[in-house]
Chain A
Amino acid sequence: MKTMKRILPIVLVLVLCLSMAACGGTAAAPSGGESQSSSGTQSTTGNQPSGAPQPSVAGEKYADHIEVIIDNTQIAGINPIGAGGPGSATGWVYLMVYNSLVSFDDNTGVYSPNLATSWESDDWQTVTFHLRDDVVFSNGEKFTADDVVFTIEQSIANPGSVAGSTFSSVESAVALDPYTVVFTLKAPKPQILFDCSSELGGIMCKKAVEEDPDKGVWIGTGPFIITDFGTNDFVKLERNDLYWGDPVPTKSMTLRYIPEMSTRLMMLQNGEADICFNLSEQDMDLVAADPEHYDVYAYLANNCSDIGFNLNDPICGDINFRMAVACALNRTDIALGAAGTYAAPETTGTFWGSGTPFRNNDIPIIPYDLQKAKDYLAASPYKGEEIELITAIPTMINASTVIQNQLAEIGINIKIKQTDPGSLMSICSYGTSDYQMYAFVGAFGYEPYSAMNGIYGQAHMQNRATYDEPRILEILDMVATETDPAKLQAYCYEVQEIEAKDIPYINLFYVKQAIAASKAIGGLVVANDGGHDLRYMYKLEG
């Protein structure tokens, strides 16, 4: 005991020293990793999945289980009629558990059958869907038109729910026979097919939900079944052997939320996780530097990292001030400061999603010109006042510091106010005069009308600049019912040109997202809006 007492403090000191020595190891690593970042990108492109399940190498077997660390979005609930606004990882689970009526190919923009074999509409206000007759839910119940009607009715009764947001344009649904259902929309909307293709538009089992409102909502027709769920913690999924589509290679997957980035890296390196959907730039470099063990899948996020001006503000509402800001910004330096090599500066003058259809790449960028910036500033009502720039999320906070320094060069005094994304979205909303400028991320989808309408529509949440441009509003009305791709393209191009002249928003860069996975992982389908498809993901044994 006496000896123990003597050595206890020494042991403790040794433990601390060991921890500190370990700390030394981490500090040295990033510099090595940084030099390897380009090799990481190469490995990424080389391993970009094709979009279809990849067959295993001959003679190799699939592992039964895959441990997945999800991205920064948490899975608060899995319930189509629960609260809406789910993060991307929740969407992955929806895709694994449920099926939507229609499929949409992000690359080609083509709709194809899913639960619905075909559809027709004369006016896009009444749409008839013909359903598959060979589908059963994971509980063995047969899938019929009644389940579709039930899902729509539930979505109408719960407007704030996942299904409610997805099917917000549907007024009613009627089953003509067990395998035919008719949607009546509030107004003509050809984009209803896009809504019906969303992973969040999965069809629930009427009988299961009525029997058990809590767990019945987990019953879908997808390739996986939810076996356990911890809010904001994990989801355990098992293969649905009754799945009507091609059987999935993996028996079970656990999707886990790990809050701390460094812990995610260590879990991947320890083999506690097989794939990690979000790492810090430095950690990603470390993984990329070890191509023998890991693959890095990188993709350009669809959303624009931008700054926006409040047009209700007397200074920011002035075009000369906005032009002065636009001329003073060096996007390359901003992107580098925001996320190092994991950000790609915008090279055109458009404010549009990187992968959203009808992107107008011919709009020239406003060139970096300090003298012009000073001239514009002199013509503006700005007289040296402090301009508040609200920002949230780490990349945009980093970018804001660079913006602050760049604008200081022409005499604009920027005060950065950091907040959380929820507060920013609330403060910087349509019609307010509570802010002047913000640096955040403009969410663009793959469907041009919804994307434009969200950002430029009157009174819409994402129209943070309160940009009510009459011609754009007129175009939005026309786009709402337009189905001709050529006309759609012309409208979208015109909107981008008008925006580029008025610059209520300045697109700065796109963040390169990266996924780190063990070499044995394959079959993942990456989407640049974060809606990845994990259904056919596999892990090779051995």
Chain B
Amino acid sequence: MIRYIIKRLLYLIPVILCVSFIIFALMDLTPGTVVDSMIPSDATPELIAAIRAQYDMDKPMIYRYGKYMLNFIQGDLGRSDLSGESIMKMYLTRLPNTIVLALTSIVIAALMAIPMGIRAARHAGTLTDTMTTVVTLIGMSMPAFWLGLMLLFAFSYKLGWFPASVNGGFKSLILPAFCNGLSMMAGTTRQTRSAMLEVLNSDYLRTARAKGVPERRVIWKHALGNAMIPILTTLGGNLSHAMAGSVVIESVFAWPGVGRLTAEAIMSRDTKMACGCVIMTTILYVVMILLVDLAYAFVDPRIKARYIRSKKPRKQVEA
């Protein structure tokens, strides 16, 4: 398993190289540079040249990219051209907010989606199933932007239960997490329903019931255990996406996460900042996907057995 993890982590090198180069190239192709906003309106051509030189804007993109990557290899993401602050520090300041929001959202999504999906599968074709489908369709089709504003209006402005901004401590987390979780819930419910439908009529469940195992145990342990892989994949994918930050949710709820940080860097043409954020997010994303893959082994003994088998030396086949 260690070899597998190392191999997966090594994939990060070409991924980071590709992603960072694409970001640098795209930012370079976009009209405008971070320096444009720094030049006074009555600046002389000499002053403009001096400012451009200060930020290496008089050099080709490949030079700036090479310089950036050389620093990155030494563990330095550099400083934002706009704020002058360390990119790593800025990212790490925002990252905990994103992690808290992502984890809370995924917990809310799982707590809603799994029971709903199971119930829909057990009552497939009935009114309950139809209602679940309607709710999930609404969840899927409602734009997070609109939903967020509606939640704010209802629960913050009208009812006054939650604050509209991040200023209210733990209470501030509820609405953005619910909004984020609701959109994640929709897909996970559909996935849970279809995964459960596949296993609900299995022979081993019939046997368990025949042996007198309580129904709750049959469903929640035996059936859900076997249906867990696709559910885990969906939740893992959602979590990885959430870790990259959601610009929409973070904007509506003024949540200071990495999504907004990245988007703002791109909008202000702060290439180094944008590239740093994207590299960090890429690393986080790859690690999250790896963790999800590893989690398969814990929920499915067959996969765990496969990992263990691959560790044993293969028998030599004699000719």
A interface residues, Cβ below 8 angstroms from B: 1, 5, 8-9, 12-13, 16, 18-23, 25-26, 67, 74, 76-77, 79, 82-85, 158-161, 164-165, 168, 214, 230-233, 256-260, 262-263, 266-267, 269-270, 272-273, 419-420, 422-423, 425-427, 443, 445, 450, 453-455, 457, 459-462
Contact = CB atoms under 8 A, between A and B. Distances in A.
B43 interface: yes
5 contacts: A16-B135, A79-B83, A83-B81, A260-B252, A426-B33
B261 to A, nearest CB: 7
A264 B291 CA distance: 38
Question: Closest 3 A-B residue pairs measured CB to CB?
Answer: A454-B41, A426-B32, A85-B37
Given A83-B81, A423-B32, A22 B41 contact: no
Interface in B225-279: 250-254, 256, 260-261, 264, 267-269
Contacts of A453: 41-42
A8 B163 contact: no
Nearest to A476: B42
A227 B299 CA distance: 48
A252 to B, nearest CB: 13
B207 to A, nearest CB: 24
A77 B84 contact: yes
Contacts, number: 191
B268 A259 contact: no
B83 A76 contact: yes
Given A267-B164, A425-B32, A83 B157 contact: no
A385 B45 CA distance: 35
Given A263-B165, A267-B165, A450-B41, A25 B153 contact: yes
A228 to B, nearest CB: 11
Contacts of B251: 259-260
A113 B149 CA distance: 48
Contacts of A233: 256
Contacts of B264: 74, 232
Contact of B112 (A8, A158, A260, A425): A8
B32 A422 contact: yes
Interface string B122-165: 00000010011011001000000011011111101110100111
B252 A85 contact: no
Given A22-B154, A267-B165, A420 B267 contact: yes
B83 A231 contact: yes
Contacts of A450: 41-42
Contacts of B165: 256, 258, 263, 267, 272-273
A406 to B, nearest CB: 28
A294 to B, nearest CB: 15
Interface string B13-57: 000000000000000001111111111111111011011001100
B82 interface: yes
Contacts of B134: 13
A124 to B, nearest CB: 16
B94 to A, nearest CB: 8
Given A9-B116, A263-B152, A270 B163 contact: yes
Nearest to B167: A272
Contacts of A462: 41
Given A79-B84, A233-B256, A18 B132 contact: no
A230 B90 CA distance: 8
A270 B30 contact: no
Contacts of A23: 146, 150, 153
Contacts of B164: 263, 266-267, 270, 272
A9 B150 contact: no
Interface of B: 30-45, 47-48, 50-51, 54-55, 80-85, 90, 93, 112, 115-116, 119, 128, 131-132, 134-135, 138, 146-147, 149-154, 156-158, 160, 163-165, 167-168, 216, 250-254, 256, 260-261, 264, 267-269
Nearest to A453: B42
Q: Which of B33, B84, B93, B267 has the most chain A CB within a 10 Å cutoff?
A: B84
B83 A83 contact: yes
Contact of B38 (A160, A269, A455): A160
Nearest to A26: B153
Nearest to A450: B42
Contact of B154 (A18, A230, A232, A263): A18
Contact of A256 (B147, B150, B216, B254): B254
B267 A422 contact: yes
B68 to A, nearest CB: 17
Given A270-B160, A272-B165, A422-B269, A262 B55 contact: no
A455 B40 CA distance: 11
Given A160-B38, A256-B167, 11 more contacts: A8-B115, A84-B39, A85-B39, A161-B38, A165-B39, A214-B85, A230-B93, A232-B261, A422-B31, A423-B30, A425-B37
A272 B40 CA distance: 36
A262 B149 contact: yes
Contact of A263 (B54, B135, B150, B253): B253
A159 B52 CA distance: 9
A129 to B, nearest CB: 22
A426 B33 CA distance: 8
Nearest to A259: B251
A83 B37 CA distance: 9
Q: Which of A160, A161, A422 has the most chain B CB within a 10 Å cutoff?
A: A160
A232 B38 CA distance: 17
A75 B48 CA distance: 23
B253 to A, nearest CB: 7
Contacts of A159: 47, 50-51, 54
Nearest to B265: A232
A385 to B, nearest CB: 23
A419 B47 CA distance: 27
A9 B131 contact: yes
Given A160-B54, A258-B165, A422-B268, A77 B85 contact: yes
B42 A426 contact: no
Contacts of B42: 450, 453-454, 457, 460
A341 B256 CA distance: 33
